[in-house]
Amino acid sequence: MAIQTVGIIGAGTMGNGIAQACAVAGVNVVMVDIAQAAVDKGLATVSGSLDRLIKKEKLTTEQKAAALALIKGSTNYEDLKSAQLVIEAATENHALKLKILKQVDDMLAPEVIIASNTSSISITQLAAATSRPDRFIGMHFFNPVPMMALVELIRGYLTSDATHDAVKALAETLGKSPITVKNAPGFVVNRILVPMINEAFFVLAEGIATAEDIDAGMKLGCNQPIGPLALADMIGLDVCLAVMEVYLEQFGDSKYRPCPLLKEMVAAGQLGRKTGRGVYTY
């Protein structure tokens, strides 16, 4: 199936980022959210992001205008009917995602592919809430979407080869580098990344090195653009803790136990950049 129009549910950070990536690549977009204010904010974010690309001479004003013309903002789910692929990019909340997926599944034509931009929820479980588990797949984009090349394509237990191939082709059209992943907690990147962050908290708690030296060591020794503790502050310490708790529960392996220091900092409300203080002060 050739995907010419992509529907996106959610105009937040991930939704508008996906919309921008599609529109810049010449793909039609219908971006839906429940409130017009959210839709307007999403469109404004895309416009501002494209302006920054113009300043960096990576885009022309004509290309910006052409991209924005391809994005239709809406508060009506019915407008998604023109899409061959609908990507759910709502908040990482299981109950909310299930509600949205059931609603759009009833409305869309049987051949339409549905994808979820989840970073942690089981694709097989989400697919089971629809009437099209063979035409359901995970598309885990990374933030900021316009800049990050990776997309994890997560195959649920019943995802068909045709669905996978069509979505992979779209990802490549967007200039992304997709990797194919089996359905499992954390998929690939977060499965490796978040335990590494958790281990950095253990190293910090044991007084082996300062936060600054831990981050410098990983940046200079492993060529990482940002240290694990600074990255934790960017992600949110509460998010890192929640992910580790999910791993511990689902794998039942003590190697995924959250660091007590991480738990203490979350309990104290020091969640990172969003609260002004985490490992570092902002």
Q: Count Cα atoms within 13 angstroms, Cβ side, for 255.
A: 6
* 93 noted as active-site residue: no
The active-site residue, picked from 119, 120, 122, 198, is 119
**CB 156 within 8 Å of CB 123:** yes
The active-site residue, picked from 28, 116, 117, 190, is 190
Q: How far is CA 236 from CA 180, 227, 265, 268, in A?
A: 27, 14, 11, 13
**CB 279 within 8 Å of CB 271:** no
The active-site residue, picked from 88, 140, 183, 198, is 140
* CA-angle at 202, arms to 198 and 206, nearest 5°: 170
* 190 noted as active-site residue: yes
The active-site residue, picked from 16, 49, 117, 152, is 152
Structure tokens at 280: 């570092």
Dist CA 5 CA 28 (whole Å): 5
* 152 noted as active-site residue: yes
**CB 266 within 8 Å of CB 238:** yes
The catalytic residue positions are 119, 140, 152, 190
